[in-house]
Chain A
Amino acid sequence: SQQGEEDPQALSIQEGENATMNCSYKTSINNLQWYRQNSGRGLVHLILIRSNEREKHSGRLRVTLDTSKKSSSLLITASRAADTASYFCATDASRDDKIIFGKGTRLHILP
């Protein structure tokens, strides 16, 4: 079964609005990373948050991590058309260093 599960599966919002995506996982982790993928292309790393961190910011991105709930959220503020992509969370399991990606959230920014 998937370690990381993103929610929602798909999200459409108006340009300028904020987009929030969630990720839940099952086992203890060393870190959690968020990646972005434009259709059929390689993934681009967005942000890494370690298990002892609760919140991180990078530009318009804000990531939170709640290890007690085994969940993370990615917030993109002031969305732009160029943010249209799929967003994946990836967990690095502390038990065996296996990296597990969720199925992703497809984000569509409407002009």
Chain B
Amino acid sequence: DSGVTQTPKHLITATGQRVTLRCSPRSGDLSVYWYQQSLDQGLQFLIQYYNGEERAKGNILERFSAQQFPDLHSELNLSSLELGDSALYFCASSVASSDHEQYFGPGTRLTVT
């Protein structure tokens, strides 16, 4: 158990819909990262937050947005969902910056039908 929790574990929704994925980092970790893992694209870094502020941005679509709240939990919002958004979405946390090991949550499996 990494100490990072993600909800929900599974999500099935239709194209065009909007979903919110939630992540609680390990106690004491200030950085939260979001990743998307699919068979064709592999593991893609989406975005990093550090202590509530956006720190680094990866291949995150404009239809996706994220935020980190004062209690350090984070949410990833996916809107106007497309079939290709079906993937595993992982959250990870680290003590500080990306110069530290990341602890991954169990992931949310999103299926868009």
Binding site for B on A (CB under 8 A): 2, 30-31, 33, 35, 40-45, 48, 50, 88, 92, 96-104
Does B25 count as interface, using CB distance less than 8 angstroms? no
Would you call B103 and A98 a contact (CB within 8 A)? no
Tell me whether B90 and A98 are in contact (CB under 8 A). no
Instruction: Give complex CA distance A33, B88 in Å.
Output: 21
Interface majority SS (helix, strand, loop, mixed), chain B: strand
| Residues on A with beta carbons closer than 8 Å to the beta carbon of B99 | 30-31, 50, 92
Q: A40-B88, A41-B107 are in contact. Are A33 and B101 (CB under 8 A)?
A: yes
Other-chain residue from B55, B92, B105, B109 in contact with A97 (beta carbon distance below 8 A)? B55
Q: Tell whether B70 is near chain A: CB-to-CB under 8 Å.
A: no
* CA distance in complex: A100, B55 (Å): 15
Q: How far is the CA of A61 from the CA of B17 in the complex (A)?
A: 44
B: contact size bracket: 20 to 34
- Does chain A have a CB within 8 A of B64? no
| B45 and A43 form a contact (CB under 8 A) | no
Is B97 interfacial (CB-CB < 8 Å)?
yes
Report the bound CA distance from A43 to B45 in whole Å: 13
Taking CB atoms, residues of chain B closer than 8 Å to A41 are 106-107
Residues of B within 8 A of A92 (CB): 98-99
Q: Considering the complex of A and B, which 6 residue pairs feature the smallest CB-CB distances, nearest first?
A: A42-B104, A101-B43, A45-B101, A97-B56, A43-B104, A103-B42
Known pairs A33-B102, A40-B88, A42-B104; list 13 more (Cβ under 8 Å): A30-B99, A42-B2, A42-B90, A42-B107, A43-B43, A43-B92, A44-B2, A45-B101, A96-B56, A97-B55, A98-B45, A99-B56, A101-B43
- Least CB distance, B87 to chain A, in whole angstroms: 12
- Contact assessment for A97 and B43 in the assembled complex, using a CB-CB cutoff below 8 Å: no
Task: From the candidates A50, A99, A101, A103, name the one contacting B48 in the complex (CB within 8 A).
Answer: A99
**A30 and B98 contact, Cβ closer than 8 Å, known pairs A40-B88, A101-B43, A102-B42:** yes
Asked if B8 lies at the interface with its beta carbon under 8 angstroms from chain A, I say no
Q: Is the CB of B107 within 8 A of A99?
A: no
A97 near B45: Cβ-Cβ < 8 Å: no
